[in-house]
Structures are given as C-alpha cells and as structure tokens.
C-alpha cells in the first residue's frame, strides 16, 4: 500500500523560496537549518497544547464567575436580612 504524502505549508514556502532546497529536502539531504526547524517544531507543539487547553480554561473562568456571583448574592441577602 502506498503511503500518502501531505504537502505542508512549509514545503510550499521552501519550494517558492528555492526549488533546489525543496528538492534536496524531499530526497533526504541534510539541512543547515535543523536547529531552527527543531525549535519551530517545538514552538508549534507548545502552541497546540495551549490551544487545546483554552476551552477548558474558559469553562473554568465561567464557573468561577458564577460561583463569585452566587457568593455575592448570598452575602447581600444575609446583609439585608
């Protein structure tokens, strides 16, 4: 079975910048920018983790706001009673 190859935006950028660099990278030639590429990969991984955690943080913030409102209303009711 043939393995599918998805074209990434970075590949398109490499091709548009330098067709020869794109060709060499497709054929496994070592790049002089491996450290920068690894740093970019790590950044995107961390960003993905933060993006996945954002909805959870939003739900927590809403629950905290509701709890604070509830406590305020109870305190107000007790103060007026």
pTM: 0.48
Nearest-5° Cα angle at 76, 70 to 78: 105
How confident is the model over 1-49, as pLDDT tens digits?
567 778 888 889 888 988 998 888 888 888 788 888 889 889 999 999 9
Neighbours of 30 (CB within 10 A): 8
How confident is the model over 41-66, as pLDDT tens digits?
899 999 999 999 999 999 999 999 99
């Amino acid at each position: 079975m043939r393995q599918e190859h998805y074209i990434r935006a970075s590949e398109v950028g490499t091709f548009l910048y330098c067709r020869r660099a794109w060709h060499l990278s497709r054929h496994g030639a070592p790049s002089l920018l491996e450290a920068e590429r690894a740093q970019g990969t790590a950044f995107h991984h961390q960003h993905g983790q933060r993006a996945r955690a954002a909805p959870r943080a939003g739900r927590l913030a809403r629950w905290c706001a509701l709890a604070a409102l509830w406590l305020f209303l109870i305190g107000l009711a007790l103060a007026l009673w």
